[in-house]
């Protein structure tokens, strides 16, 4: 059955896309869910005209069992229909040798390696061996932990397998607790990767960093400001109904609006978006500061007990002196004024001593 006009799907190399447009844009749903959903998204993205690849997860590596784990190989049929209708090349995630064979058999145009998979060098090697000899672009996401060597190592395994079109995707790193963002952007890590691999295109996935749709745009803005080579964004025709990552997916319209604001003109920057992103990062760091201080106070509770058992005074001037010295050195290594850090720590120390005195008094009363 002939439905719509076929568009030529002759693929451009990533380096040509970057040369021509200055950025690589990959967009599409977190997961392929149905034929209608894939085709509707593809049509909207193709009509936008700024998207180079349609993404959709066919197999979803979920943290907890029981979550939606993807539709499996039936999804390739939908991706291929979307490609035939719109001309958009398609990309999916592979997490095993079998996934690679299935994806290649179904003519997928680009593969990406998810954060959970990148954390396992055995799997990465297995995937790299399966890809050897095939000229397909591979995008390697960062691992869950902020371990640049693990990320670089995975990229090198693909380079050694002869993959000539390689890119990295920065999707943020696991945070230690609930926070304003889903993942910590730790921008210094992709920056360091770029210093180590100056030729490597690195794009940003603001969706998985943000975790919430209204935070995607400021993260994307920051990435553009920092000179990332493009974006991978989750776009779903009906985000609230999405079977995975519902909170962070954009509608095609809000995605287009975001691109208008962020990248319609090269070098254009939106100061309001940038300010909101910088504030997000400040909030994230403040959350971490509070958590770190709370952890410190919890330890102080144990210290109070230990001091009581060993009949040691709460205030130990020599210990305090050595803390101040160590902290002062660290502060000046980090470009902080020692007088400010001393004030900050004096205040923490005062609270900690008061806390210990209270603990000791309370246990004396019992
Ligand atoms: C995804 O892209 O939907 C995905 C699972 O991403 P990540 O591997 O970054 O968590
Ligand atoms: Mn997702």
CB 95 near ligand 1, within 6 Å: no
Ligand 1 atom with minimal separation from the 171 CA: 9
Contact between 24 and 230 under an 8 Å Cβ cutoff? The reply is yes
- Per mean pLDDT, which range of 131-140, 156-165, 257-266, 307-316 is the poorest? 257-266
Give domain status of residue 40, yes or no.
yes
CA of 318 from ligand 2 middle (Å) equals: 52
Distances (CA, A) of 54 to 19, 119, 255, 271, 277: 20, 25, 13, 29, 26
Please check the confidence at residue 6 and state whether its pLDDT lies above 60. no
Report residue 65 as tokens.
Answer: 């069992």
Given a contact cutoff of 8 angstroms between Cβ atoms, the answer to whether 90 and 126 are in contact is no
Let me know whether 329 and 347 are in one domain: yes
Is 139 a domain residue? yes
Q: Kindly report the average pLDDT of the chain as a whole number.
A: 91
3-state DSSP of 229-272: CEEEEEECCCHHHCCCCHHHCECHHHHHHHHHHHHCCCCCCCHH
Ligand 1 nearest-atom number relative to CA 30: 3
Give SS3 for 176: coil
| Banded pLDDT at 301 (limits 50, 70, 90) | confident
Residue 227 has what pLDDT?
92
Average pLDDT (247-269) is 82
Instruction: Check whether residue 260 and residue 292 sit in a common domain.
Output: no
Instruction: Name the residue range of residue 349's domain.
Output: 274-365
What DSSP state is assigned to residue 53? E
Q: Is residue 196 part of a domain?
A: yes
- Residue with the smallest CA separation from ligand 1 atom 3 is 30
Number of Cβ atoms within 10 Å of the Cβ of 291? 15
269 confidence band (pLDDT: 50, 70, 90):
low
Residues 20 and 163 in one domain: yes
Residues 264 and 354 placed together within one structural domain of the fold: no
> pLDDT-based confidence at 353, cuts 50/70/90?
confident
The residue whose CA is least distant from atom 4 of ligand 1 is: 114
Q: Which two tokens stand for residue 289?
A: 């500061």
What is the distance between the alpha carbons of residues 60 and 69, in angstroms, rounded to a whole number?
5
From 206, 239, 269, give the residue that closes a domain. Answer: 269
Q: Pick the most confident of 100-109, 310-319, 332-341.
A: 100-109
Q: What CATH number does the domain containing 291 carry?
A: 1.20.59.10
Assess whether the C-beta atom of 30 lies below 6 angstroms from ligand 1: yes
Residues 330 and 187 reside in one and the same domain: no
CA atoms within 13 A on the CB side of 96: 7
The pLDDT score that the predictor gives to residue 7 is 44
Are residues 238 and 98 part of one domain?
yes
Distances (CA, A) of 133 to 103, 158, 160, 261: 15, 11, 11, 40
Ligand number nearest CA of 232 is 1
User: Where is the domain boundary, 249, 269, 289?
Assistant: 269
**Whether the predicted pLDDT of 8 surpasses 50:** no
Look up tokens 């989750």; give the residue. 234
- For residue 105 the two structure tokens come to 């058999």
- Look up the CATH number of the domain holding residue 40: 3.20.20.70
Q: For residues 252 and 322, state if they share a domain.
A: no
pLDDT of residue 193: 98
Neighbours of 299 (CB within 10 A): 10
CB of 115 sitting under 6 A from ligand 1: yes
Q: Is the CB of 28 under 6 A from ligand 1?
A: no
| C-beta neighbour count of 46 within 10 angstroms | 17
pTM for this predicted structure = 0.87
Percent of the chain with pLDDT over 70: 94
Instruction: Mark whether 262 and 170 lie in a shared domain.
Output: yes
CA distance 232 to 53: 9
Residue 9 counted as domain residue: no
Ligand 1 mean position, distance from CA 263 (Å): 23
The dihedral through the CA atoms of 100, 88, 30, 265 has a sign that is positive
Please tell me if the CB atom of residue 114 comes closer than 6 angstroms to any atom of ligand 1: yes
Is residue 366 predicted with pLDDT exceeding 80? no
Q: How many domains does the chain have?
A: 2
- Ion ligand 2, residues whose Cβ is below 5 A away: 30, 245
Residue 1 — pLDDT band, cuts 50, 70, 90? very low
pLDDT reported for residue 242: 97
Positive or negative, the Cα torsion across 11, 208, 231, 263?
A: positive
What are the DSSP calls for 111-179, one per residue?
A: EEE-HHHHT-HHHHHHHHHHHTT----EEEEPPSS--HHHHHHHHHHHHHTT--SEEEEE--EE-SS--
* Minimum CA distance residue for ligand 1 atom 1: 30
What is the C-alpha separation between 19 and 105, in angstroms, rounded?
30
- Strands 166-170 and 138-141, by their bridges, are parallel
Residues 294 and 252 in one domain: no
Report the candidate in 102, 56, 60 with the shortest Cα–Cα distance to residue 83: 56
Among 54, 145, 171, the mutation site with the greatest number of ligand 1 atoms within 8 A of its Cβ is 171
Which residues neighbour 304 within 8 Å (Cβ) at sequence distance 6 or greater?
Answer: 314, 355, 356, 359, 360
Assess if residue 311 is contained within a domain. yes
In-domain check, residue 8: no
Q: Is the pLDDT of residue 350 over 80?
A: yes
* Residues 59-104 pLDDT 10s: 998 888 888 999 999 999 999 999 999 999 999 999 999 999 999 9
User: For residues 27 and 278, which has the higher predicted lDDT (pLDDT)?
Assistant: 27
The verdict on 208 and 234 lying in the same domain is yes
Q: How far is the CA of 171 from the centre of ligand 1 (A)?
A: 8
Give tens-digit pLDDT for 39-58.
999 999 999 999 999 999 99
Average pLDDT over residues 296-306: 87
Residues 291 and 338: their CA atoms lie apart, in Å, by 23
End residue of a domain, out of 269, 304, 337? 269
CA of 205 to the centre of ligand 2 (A): 10
In ligand 1, the atom with minimum distance to the C-alpha of 208 is: 9
**Torsion angle of C-alpha atoms 217, 220, 222, 226, degrees rounded to 10:** -160
Residue-level pLDDT at 315: 78
| Distance (Å) from CA 28 to ligand 2 centroid | 10
Question: What share of the chain has pLDDT > 90, as a percent?
Answer: 74
**Do 254 and 321 lie in a common domain?**
no
Residue 344 lies in a domain: yes
Residue 193 domain-assigned (yes or no): yes
Look at residue 47 in the predicted model and tell me its pLDDT. 97
Which ligand is the nearest neighbour of the Cα of 62?
Answer: 1
Asked if 155 and 78 sit in the same domain, the reply is yes
Taking CA atoms only, the protein residue closest to ligand 1 atom 8 is: 114
Asked if residue 188 lies in contact with residue 223, where contact means CB atoms within 8 angstroms, the answer is no
Residue among 99, 114, 124 to mutate when testing ligand 1 (max atoms within 8 A of CB): 114
């Amino acid at each position: 059955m002939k439905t719509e006009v076929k568009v030529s799907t002759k693929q451009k190399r990533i380096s040509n896309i970057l040369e021509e447009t200055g950025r690589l844009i990959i967009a599409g749903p977190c997961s392929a869910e149905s034929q209608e959903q894939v085709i509707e998204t593809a049509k909207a993205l193709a009509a936008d005209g700024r998207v180079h690849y349609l993404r959709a997860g066919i197999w979803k590596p979920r943290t907890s069992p029981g979550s939606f784990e993807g539709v499996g190989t039936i999804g390739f049929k939908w991706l291929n229909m979307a490609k035939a209708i719109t001309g958009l090349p398609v990309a999916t995630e592979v997490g095993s040798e079998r996934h690679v064979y299935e994806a290649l058999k179904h003519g997928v145009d680009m593969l990406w390696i998810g954060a959970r998979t990148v954390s396992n060098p055995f799997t990465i090697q297995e995937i790299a061996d399966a890809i050897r000899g095939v000229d397909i672009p591979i995008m390697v996401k960062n691992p869950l932990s902020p371990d640049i060597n693990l990320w670089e190592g995975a990229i090198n395994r693909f380079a050694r397998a002869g993959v000539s079109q390689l890119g990295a995707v920065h999707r943020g790193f696991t945070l230690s607790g609930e926070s304003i963002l889903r993942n910590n952007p730790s921008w210094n890590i992709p920056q360091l990767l770029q210093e180590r691999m100056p030729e490597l295109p690195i794009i940003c996935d603001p969706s998985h960093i943000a975790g919430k749709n209204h935070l995607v745009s400021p993260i994307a803005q920051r990435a553009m400001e920092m000179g990332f080579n493009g974006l991978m964004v989750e776009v779903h025709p009906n985000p609230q109904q999405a079977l995975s990552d519902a909170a962070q997916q954009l509608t095609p319209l809000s995605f287009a609006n975001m691109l208008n604001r962020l990248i319609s003109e090269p070098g254009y920057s939106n100061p309001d978006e940038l300010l909101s992103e910088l504030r997000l990062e400040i909030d994230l760091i403040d959350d971490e500061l509070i958590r770190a201080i709370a952890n410190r106070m919890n330890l102080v509770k144990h210290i109070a007990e230990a001091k009581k058992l060993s009949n040691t005074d709460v205030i130990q001037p020599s210990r305090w002196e050595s803390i101040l010295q160590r902290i002062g050195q660290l502060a000046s290594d980090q470009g902080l004024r020692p007088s400010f850090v001393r004030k900050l720590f004096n205040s923490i120390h005062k609270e900690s001593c008061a806390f210990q005195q209270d603990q000791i008094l309370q246990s004396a009363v019992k």
